[in-house]
Chain A
Amino acid sequence: KQEVTQIPAALSVPEGENLVLNCSFTDSAIYNLQWFRQDPGKGLTSLLLIQSSQREQTSGRLNASLDKSSGRSTLYIAASQPGDSATYLCAATVGGSQGNLIFGKGTKLSVKP
């Protein structure tokens, strides 16, 4: 059974700092790994999707990496801003016919001005 873990559960950094969020999964047989952002009381916004055959994806100040063999993914945020404050969720798409997402419990990020 796939389990996804995110460390740390919460992180507070000063504005401008570069930071890394960690995600680990127990079963390397994933189809992809997706990073989301959730603002309080809001839905999920997809940030990056890494296919199982890829090693990283970049979008603006965000870079996500995937190492299937070690069961790890990281989300790197460069030059953090107060507007980056949110909960970041990683989710692995598991096998089967429909591609269900298995979520971690998230990292709550606070970027202080």
Chain B
Amino acid sequence: DTAVSQTPKYLVTQMGNDKSIKCEQNLGHDTMYWYKQDSKKFLKIMFSYNNKELIINETVPNRFSPKSPDKAHLNLHINSLELGDSAVYFCASSQAFGTSISYEQYFGPGTRLTVT
């Protein structure tokens, strides 16, 4: 069984469009994340979210918004797509993050977004 899944795997779209990437985890985890891997393969956190708190990386444009219909899902909505949004987007999840111990993050397979 796939632990963290993302759809679609590939997404090609034109500038100015609005698109969504879906993420689901079946691990029973409390916290989910979105990361962006740019053309130089550098991974950076975009959002982290649990049922209590959404933390947004200050460098993420407000055209990006995460939406969580339930604990197992964290979807990524992108409005008015730009060429620079082309990248691979990874979803991840972990158990609740505590103060005395912290847990492994499990990653999805990634979604390659190409904006033309």
Contact = CB atoms under 8 A, between A and B. Distances in A.
Interface range for B: 20 to 34
A42 B31 contact: no
Given A32-B102, A34-B104, A93-B102, A102 B53 contact: no
Contact of A100 (B40, B42, B55, B109): B55
B60 to A, nearest CB: 12
Contact of A51 (B33, B57, B101): B101
Interface stretch (B14-22, B44-52, B61-69, B71-79): B44-52
Contacts of A69: none
Given A51-B101, A98-B31, A103-B43, A43 B55 contact: no
Contact of A31 (B31, B42, B102): B102
B101 A43 contact: no
Most chain B beta-carbon neighbours within 10 Å: one of A36, A46, A101: A101
B102 A103 contact: no
A98 B108 contact: no
Contacts of A36: 107
12 contacts: A34-B104, A44-B107, A51-B102, A89-B43, A98-B31, A99-B48, A100-B48, A101-B33, A101-B35, A101-B92, A103-B43, A103-B44
